[in-house]
């Protein structure tokens, strides 16, 4: 279904918005959609339609209006027709009717594209096929709702519906930004839902330049966020590694690092004096549990938050006088060396660090309850949502860990930077990353604020685009507290 919908969306956009769908990118998108559709059960009609759209885009549109209109109209019949093959003749008769309207000037391509798909009554067999197919898609995951809604709008025609704007239609295509087709349906559909949610916010009111810049910053942080929220197949909010930024380069060194680090953590916890800071033991335990759960592909953001909180506790001015004995200090040095070795196996992490480094944060203002309270409210509403079956245990666990970090750093001095990378770390040559490519000015507090802002932004967009979450009392409350947290944390940025 995904390649069929892909070809449908690009072909339709080519016909309805000819002035926007121009240039090499649009042609390439149409060609790629045709290639992807060539192996589907609806290969002939879908591939021909997408090729016609590409041809229309590659030449003067006026000369290809009929071809593009044929593409848009023929291919959107395919999702219903392809898997039940009912009334194929009726489908092509409807297309013939469309072509005649174009030829005699009775309709423009845009008018045709925005009108009801089937002239007269929708054939019963087509309606039944689409009802069955849409139910199957819902059962595969709520993320399919974006395409079900899109196709329902195409069936009924939507010439004046505000949500069917040019930007709304373009969100389903690669014309402005590529969609992650290689990552599967859930990744594609989640990205479309995120685009639509962001568009809904931006189109609800004209944004001043500073608000638009803030929205773009949040979108950038959501892209690099680790942990990364997602939707499960049954429509629950989940959280895990960032599929792009938390993908490690594997070698023999990394394979043994998690075990070595976990063993070291157990030794530190056994030797830790009773008067050591309580949050130190909590972070060490959580770090070890993350490695135990996910091994060589952990949620890197959580590991870095925990390691930086640990480093801050060890670097406290009175630590050595009160609880940090020389032997324990050496254990923490080994812990940091291992942590730096783990982090350097993630080649895209420097790019994320540069994003954090570039965004200014008022750390002095982010203190006490002003920092901790937004996290605590999201944690409370996430637990309510879990009891209602709207979130996974992993999502709640991630939010609770972030909340604990926020409580700790809310009482820490400002501008406390993590230590420099350990020297002499032995890594394979292909893993080496130039220290110049890894900014070090990101403080503990800054990282936690920006990481959370990206996480909350993505979770807010996903929850708001999911009917199964947004239509419940607990889901609506979670969405509200996520937005309130976004607003609060954004006040520290800039």
The residues with which 239 forms a beta bridge, in sequence order, are: 229
Mean per-residue pLDDT for 8-28? 63
Q: Phi/psi at 174 (nearest 5 deg)?
A: -95, 10
Angstrom distance (rounded) from CA 37 to CA 10: 12
Q: Is the pLDDT of residue 177 over 90?
A: no
Mean per-residue pLDDT for 44-66? 50
Q: Tens digits of per-residue pLDDT, 122-154?
A: 777 777 777 788 888 888 888 888 888 888 777
Against a cut of 0.75, is the pTM above it?
no
Angstrom distance (rounded) from CA 172 to CA 169: 6
Q: Tens digits of per-residue pLDDT, 339-393?
A: 999 999 999 999 999 999 999 999 999 999 999 999 999 999 999 999 999 999 9
Q: Is the pLDDT of residue 97 over 90?
A: no
Range of lowest pLDDT (168-182, 390-404, 420-434, 442-456)? 420-434
pLDDT of residue 59: 46
Q: Is the pLDDT of residue 315 over 50?
A: yes
pLDDT band at 65 (very low <50, low <70, confident <90, very high): very low
Range of lowest pLDDT (167-176, 377-386, 474-483)? 167-176
Long-range pairs for 81-85: beta carbons < 8 A, 24 or more residues apart = 81/42, 81/45, 81/126, 81/129, 82/4, 82/40, 82/41, 82/42, 82/45, 82/46, 83/41, 83/42, 83/129, 83/133, 84/125, 84/128, 84/129, 84/132, 84/133
Q: Are 34 and 50 in contact (CB under 8 A)?
A: yes
Most confident of 106-120, 154-168, 437-451: 437-451
Mean per-residue pLDDT for 305-322? 88
Q: Is the pLDDT of residue 438 over 50?
A: no
Angstrom distance (rounded) from CA 189 to CA 181: 9
Give the distance between the most distant pair of CA atoms in the chain: 91
Residue partners of 170: CB distance under 8 A and separation at least 6: 13, 17, 20, 176
Q: Are 5 and 147 in contact (CB under 8 A)?
A: yes
Per the model's pLDDT, the better-predicted residue between 21 and 245 turns out to be 245
Q: Tens digits of per-residue pLDDT, 230-273?
A: 888 788 999 999 988 899 998 888 999 999 999 999 999 998 88
pLDDT of residue 41: 56
Q: Are 157 and 76 in contact (CB under 8 A)?
A: no
- The number of residues in the chain equals 494
Q: Tens digits of per-residue pLDDT, 183-222?
A: 888 999 988 988 888 777 666 555 466 766 888 888 889 8
């Amino acid at each position: 279904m995904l390649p069929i919908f892909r070809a449908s969306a690009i072909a339709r956009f080519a016909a309805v918005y000819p002035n926007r769908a121009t240039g090499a990118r649009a042609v390439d998108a149409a060609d790629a959609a045709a290639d992807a559709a060539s192996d589907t059960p609806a290969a002939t009609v879908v591939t021909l339609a997408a090729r016609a759209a590409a041809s229309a885009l590659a030449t003067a549109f006026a000369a290809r209006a009929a071809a593009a209109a044929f593409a848009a109209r023929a291919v959107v019949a395919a999702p219903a027709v392809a898997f039940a093959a009912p009334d194929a003749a009726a489908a092509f008769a409807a297309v013939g009717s469309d072509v005649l309207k174009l030829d005699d000037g009775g309709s423009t391509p845009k008018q045709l594209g925005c009108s009801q798909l089937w002239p007269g009554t929708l054939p019963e067999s087509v309606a039944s096929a689409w009802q069955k197919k849409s139910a199957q898609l819902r059962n595969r995951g709520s993320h399919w709702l974006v395409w079900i809604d899109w196709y329902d709008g195409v069936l009924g025609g939507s010439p004046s519906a505000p949500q069917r704007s040019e930007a709304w239609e373009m969100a389903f295509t690669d014309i402005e930004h590529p969609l992650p087709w290689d990552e599967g349906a859930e990744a594609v559909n989640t990205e479309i839902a995120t685009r639509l949610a962001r568009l809904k916010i931006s189109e609800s009111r004209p944004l001043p330049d500073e608000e638009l810049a803030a929205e773009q910053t949040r979108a950038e942080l959501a892209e690099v966020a680790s942990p990364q929220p997602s939707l499960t197949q049954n429509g629950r909010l989940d959280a895990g590694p960032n599929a792009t930024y938390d993908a490690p380069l594997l070698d023999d060194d990394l394979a043994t690092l998690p075990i070595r680090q976990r063993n070291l953590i157990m030794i530190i916890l056994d030797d830790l004096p009773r008067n050591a800071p309580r949050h130190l033991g909590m972070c060490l335990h959580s770090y070890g549990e993350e490695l135990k759960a996910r091994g060589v592909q952990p949620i890197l953001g959580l590991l870095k938050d925990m390691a930086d909180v640990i480093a801050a506790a060890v670097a406290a001015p009175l630590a050595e006088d009160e609880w940090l004995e020389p032997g324990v200090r050496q254990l923490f040095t080994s812990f940091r060396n291992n942590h730096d070795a783990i982090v350097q196996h993630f080649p895209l992490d420097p790019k994320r660090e540069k994003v954090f480094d570039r965004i200014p944060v008022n750390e002095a203002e982010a203190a006490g309850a002003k920092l901790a309270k937004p996290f605590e409210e999201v944690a409370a509403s996430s637990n309510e949502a879990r009891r209602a079956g709207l979130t996974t245990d992993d999502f709640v666990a991630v939010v609770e860990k972030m909340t604990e970090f926020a409580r700790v750093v809310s009482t820490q001095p400002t501008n406390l930077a993590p230590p420099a990378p350990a020297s002499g770390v032995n890594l394979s040559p292909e893993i080496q990353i130039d220290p110049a490519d890894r900014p070090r000015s990101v403080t503990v507090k800054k990282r936690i604020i920006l990481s959370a802002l990206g996480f909350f932004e993505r979770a807010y967009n996903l929850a708001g685009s999911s009917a199964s979450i947004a239509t419940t009392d607990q889901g609506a409350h979670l969405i509200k507290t996520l937005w309130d947290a976004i607003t609060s944390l954004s006040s520290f940025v800039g």
